[in-house]
């Protein structure tokens, strides 16, 4: 009887979960090549609960900043650090580094990953980008530290249901006083198959 009940629970759970092939295309904008940007792409549930990181640049993930303070550079990708609960001064484990990180790609990137997501549940895909020394008349070396202009965030929601879906992540936040930070990335598309 226990085996039958366990099998029933497993089959019921499987009906609500769906193995998804996720593909994310990050297309560079006109300011992408000014300096190698730091980028993170991750998934949250609609209530903000962290699900998984699909990609993060090695400097941000491994605290490999040249001349950074002891607490790392939390301003480089603040929303990703907060969502993941990652202390920017602590390196990510080697297993996770191998699965999700690389140097900043020179010409944009396509990230592919298989994940198990719950059918009918809302997921939020996010991408954050930042460039060091990205100063302008509002964000100067004197008032904004190493980064200059703040990190920018893009987001979009998907509800998996077993059919292919595609969304474009939209800029999230204010573009006020940004001159190049909002031009690091031209577009980000997420496809779930």
DSSP 5: H
For the record, the structure tokens of 64 come out as: 């490999």
Write b or e for each residue in 64-76: b if 16 or more Cβ atoms lie within 10 A of its Cβ, otherwise e.
ebeebeeebbbbb
| Three-state DSSP state, 7 | helix
DSSP 151: P
User: pTM (2 decimals)?
Assistant: 0.85
Phi and psi, residue 37, nearest 5° = -75, 155
DSSP 150: P
Tens of pLDDT along the chain (193 residues) come to: 445 444 443 444 444 455 689 999 999 999 998 888 999 999 999 999 999 999 988 877 765 656 566 666 778 899 998 999 887 777 666 556 545 666 677 788 999 999 999 999 999 999 999 998 999 999 999 998 788 999 999 999 999 888 888 999 999 999 999 999 999 999 999 999 8
């Amino acid at each position: 009887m226990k085996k039958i009940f366990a099998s029933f629970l497993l089959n019921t759970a499987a009906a609500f979960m769906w193995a998804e092939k996720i593909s994310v295309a990050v297309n560079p904008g006109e300011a992408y090549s000014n300096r190698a940007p730091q980028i993170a792409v991750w998934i949250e549930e609609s209530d903000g609960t962290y699900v998984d990181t699909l990609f993060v640049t090695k400097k941000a993930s491994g605290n490999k900043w040249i001349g950074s303070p002891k607490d790392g550079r939390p301003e480089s990708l603040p929303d990703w650090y907060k969502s993941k609960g990652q202390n920017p001064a602590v390196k990510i484990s080697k297993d996770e580094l191998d699965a999700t990180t690389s140097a900043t790609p020179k010409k944009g990137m396509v990230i592919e990953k298989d994940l198990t997501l719950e059918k009918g549940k809302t997921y939020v895909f996010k991408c954050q980008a930042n460039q060091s020394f990205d100063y302008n008349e509002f964000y100067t070396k004197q008032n904004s530290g190493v980064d200059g202009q703040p990190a920018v965030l893009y987001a979009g929601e998907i509800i998996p249901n077993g059919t292919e879906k595609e969304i474009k992540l939209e800029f999230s936040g204010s573009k006020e006083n940004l001159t190049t930070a909002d031009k690091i990335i031209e577009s980000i598309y997420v496809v779930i198959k």
